[in-house]
Structure 1
Amino acid sequence: MTALGTVFRPQFAPELLRPMAETAEAWELDQLWVWEDCFSESGIASAAAALAWTERVRVGIGLLPVPLRNVALTGMEVATLHRLFPDRVILGVGHGVQGWMGQVGARVSSPLTLLREYLDALRALLRGEEVSVDGTYVKLDKVRLDWPPSDPVKVYAGGIGPKTLRLTAEAADGTLLVADETVDGVRRIREFIDHEIIAPLHVATGPDAVERLRRTSPDVGVAGDAETVAAAVRELVDAGADTVILQPTGDEPDPVGFVRFVAEQVRPLVP
C-alpha cells in the first residue's frame, strides 16, 4: 500500500505542530513531516515533540542540511530518537539551500563531496560502527555512538538535479524528491533509482484552492477536492513513487483541517 503523509510547513507557527500531530494520529494518517528551513523551526526538536505527542504516526524530517550539522551530532540525535521511538522516525538529509548556508558561514565549495562523505559516515555511525575518516569535509577520529539504534535505520537523502539524484541513488537508503518535480520527472528518476522514492505534492483544497496553488507553484501541484487530489497521488505512484507527501500551501488557512482532509477524505481513495 502506498504510504501517505502531509507536512507541517515552516510557515506555520510552532504552536500548530501539536494539533496537527494529534490530528494525524487520531485519523490514522501514515506520516507527518517536519522541515528544517533556515531560520524557522528545528527539525530535530519538532520531530521529537511530534513523536512525544503521538504513539503511532511516523514522523519524517525533511531534511537536515548537512553543512549546518556536524555528522556526529546528527548521529547522536537521530540515534536517540530511534531508541525512544523505534521505527517511527524517517530521517532525511541534504545539501540545504546554499544561500542560507552562506548566511551562517557553512557553505562549502563542493556540496556533492560533502553529502557523499556525510552519508557514508552517518550510515556507519547509525550501524554502531567505530568511524575514522579524514575527508575533505567530514573528519572523525574513532567515533562510535554509545547508544546506536537498536534496529537498522534507513537514511534518506533529498535533492534536485541529476548529479545529486544519482548520488542519492548510490549512497542513501531512499530518495526524497521536491514538490516541484513533475510526474514525468518522477518517471525518469525511477529509471535509475531502485530504492524507495518519497514524492511530495503541492496541494490546495477549499474555495480559494486554485488561487493559492497558483501563488505557491504555478506549474505543478493539484487543487481541488479529495478525488482530484487522490487522482494526482495515483499518477505519482504509477510513475514510481512509493510514498506521497501532500504539501499544503504556506498560506493554508486551516493546517489542522488540511491534515484531517488528507486522512479522512484522500487516504481512503489511495490504494
Structure 2
Amino acid sequence: MTDRSIWGIELTPEHPPDRIASLAAQAEESGFDIAFTSSHYFNRDPFITCSKIAEATNELRIGPGVVNPYETHPARLAAQVATVDEVSDGRAAFGVGAGDRSSLSNLGIERDRPLRRVLETFDVARDLWAGETVTHEGTFTARDASLNLESPSETIPVYVGAQGPHMLRMSAKHADGVLINAAHPTDLEWASEQVERGLADRPDDRGSFESLAFASTSVAADEETAREAARPPVAFIVGGAADPVLERHDVDPDAAAAVSEALERGDLHDAFGRVTPEMIDAFCIAGTTETVADRFEAALEHVDGIVVGSPLGPNLEDAIERSSEALRTATGDERRID
C-alpha cells in the first residue's frame, strides 16, 4: 500500500488523439499522477493515443486502462505497452482486464476463463519485457516469442481491472495494482476486504501495491447536468455487473437486464435511456464539485487513490479542473502544478 493518495484519470479516446493529449497535459498540470486510455473497439486506438499523451506530458504515467487479452494476442499487447514505455521514457503502465462482456459479444468473442487469461497475460508480458524468449501453453499459445525492443523501465507496473472477488484477490497477490470497477463506498469496502485477502498471500518480493477505485465520475456546476452525462458509462457498468453487485444496491434486475440486452444489440441510445437514477447513484460519482469531493473522501476510506473515470463530466476541460479541485478537498493535498 502507499502513503500518498494516487490521483488518476481515465481519458476515453472518443475524441481525436491530439484532443486527448491536450486533456492529459491539463490533467498533469492539475496534479494527476497517471492517465489511463480506455479501450473499446468502437473508439480510437488506445496505444496511438498513449503515444500522443507521451509527447504532450513530462511526468504523467501513461497506459491503456484497460485492454483485454481476447481482441489482441497477449504477446502483441506486451510489445505495444513496451513501445509506450519507450516513447514516454519509462512512464508506461499496463492496465489489463477481462474486457467488457457486451462489447466482446458484439465481436463474436467468448470471454473464456477470464481470471487465468488475465494472469497468464501479464505473467508472459513480464517475461517478455525482461528480454526472455517465451513458450506458453495455457489459455493462449506463444511459441519461442520474444520482443525486438528493450523498455527503458526495469519493470512496467501492471494494474488489473477487477470487480469480482477472485479477480480482486488475484490482483493483490500477483499484480502491482488493482483498478476496482466501483464508485460506491459499499462496493469499495467489500472490494478492499477481497484485496486484503489477496495481499495476505502476496510474496514479499512482489513490492508495493496500489489499490485504486476506477470510479465513473461526472462533475459539473449543475447536479442534474452532471447526472445526465453519467448515463453512457453507467450503462456499460450495469451491463457487466454481477447479480450480487446489483442486489447490493437494490437495482431492479429486470431493468439491468434491459440495459444489458440493448448493449448486446448495439443499440446504445436505448441502453443509455434505460439507465435509472438508482443505477447512477450506485455506479457513478455524479454531481457538483462539492458533492463529488464528499464522495471522493468516502471512497478514499477504502483505497489508496482514485481514477476519475469516464465520462468526467459534460465539459471535459471543466471536469478536469473540478475533479482535481474535488480531490484536493478530499485529500488536503495541494499538489497542483502552476
Shared fold per TM-score greater than 0.5: yes
Equivalent residue for 1:62, pick from 54, 65, 73: 65
Find out whether 1:245 has 2:259 as its counterpart: no
Please list the CA deviations of residues 155-206 of structure 1 after superposition, one character each: whole Å capped at 9, or x if unmatched: 1211221122223233322211113453323432332243321212233333
Find the counterpart in structure 2 of residue 3 from structure 1. 6
**Counterpart amino acid of residue 305 in structure 2:** T
The question of whether the paired residues in 2 share the 8 Å contact of 1:32 and 1:57 is answered with yes
Of residues 138, 141, 162, the one that matches 1:139 is 141
Give the count of matched residue pairs.
267
Q: Deviations over 1:95-139 (max 9, x none)?
A: 11123223324324322332232222112112222211122x321
Q: How does 1:1-271 map to 2 (within 5 A)?
A: 1-12=4-15, 16-135=19-138, 137-150=139-152, 151-180=154-183, 182-194=187-199, 195-210=209-224, 212-213=226-227, 215=231, 216=234, 217-239=280-302, 241-249=303-311, 252-263=313-324, 265-269=325-329, 270=331, 271=333
User: Does the CA-based 8 Å contact 1:31-1:57 persist in structure 2?
Assistant: yes
Letter of the 2:223 counterpart: A
Equivalent residues of 1:64, 1:93 under 8 A apart: yes
- For 2:300, what is the secondary structure of its paired residue? helix
Give the unaligned 5+ runs of structure 1.
Answer: none
Aligned equivalents of 1:132, 1:253: Cα separation in 2: 47
- Distance across 1 between alignment mates of 2:27 and 2:224: 25
The letter of the residue matching 1:145 is L
SS of the counterpart of 1:246? strand
* Maintained 8 Å contact 1:212/1:249: no
Q: Distance in 2 between matches of 1:115 and 1:204?
A: 29
Give identity over the alignment, percent.
22
Q: Which deviations, in whole Å up to 9, do the C-alpha atoms of 1:189-227 show, x marking residues without a partner?
A: 332243321212233333432454374423244344444
Q: Which residue identity does 2:311 align to in structure 1? A: T
Contact 2:212–2:305 (CA<8 Å) still a contact in 1? yes
SS across alignment from 1:55: coil
CA contact (8 A) 1:174 1:197 kept: yes
**C-alpha separation in 2, matches of 1:101 and 1:266:** 34
Deviations 1:68-112 (A, max 9, x none): 111121111111211221342221111111232233243243223
What SS does structure 1 have at the residue aligned with 2:323? helix
Provide the rounded CA distance (Å) in 1 between the counterparts of 2:227 and 2:188. Answer: 17
Q: CA–CA distance in 2 between the matches of 1:16 and 1:109?
A: 35
What is the alpha-carbon distance in structure 1 between the residues aligned to residue 111 and residue 310 of structure 2?
A: 31
C-alpha separation in 1, matches of 2:28 and 2:167: 34
CA distance in 2, matches of 1:98, 1:222: 23
Distance in 2 separating the partners of 1:62 and 1:74: 12
- Greater share of helix residues, 1 or 2? 2
- Structure 2: give runs of 5+ residues left out of the alignment: 200-208, 235-279, 334-338
Aligned partner letter, 1:266: A
SS at match of 1:166: helix
Distance 1:29 1:196, change over 3 A: closer
Contact 1:43 1:63 in 2 (8 A): no
CA distance in 1, matches of 2:320, 2:63: 15
List 4+ stretches of structure 1 deviating above 6 A: none
Measured on the aligned residues, the alpha-carbon RMSD in Å equals 2.5
Instruction: Specify the code of the residue in structure 2 equivalent to 1:244.
Output: I
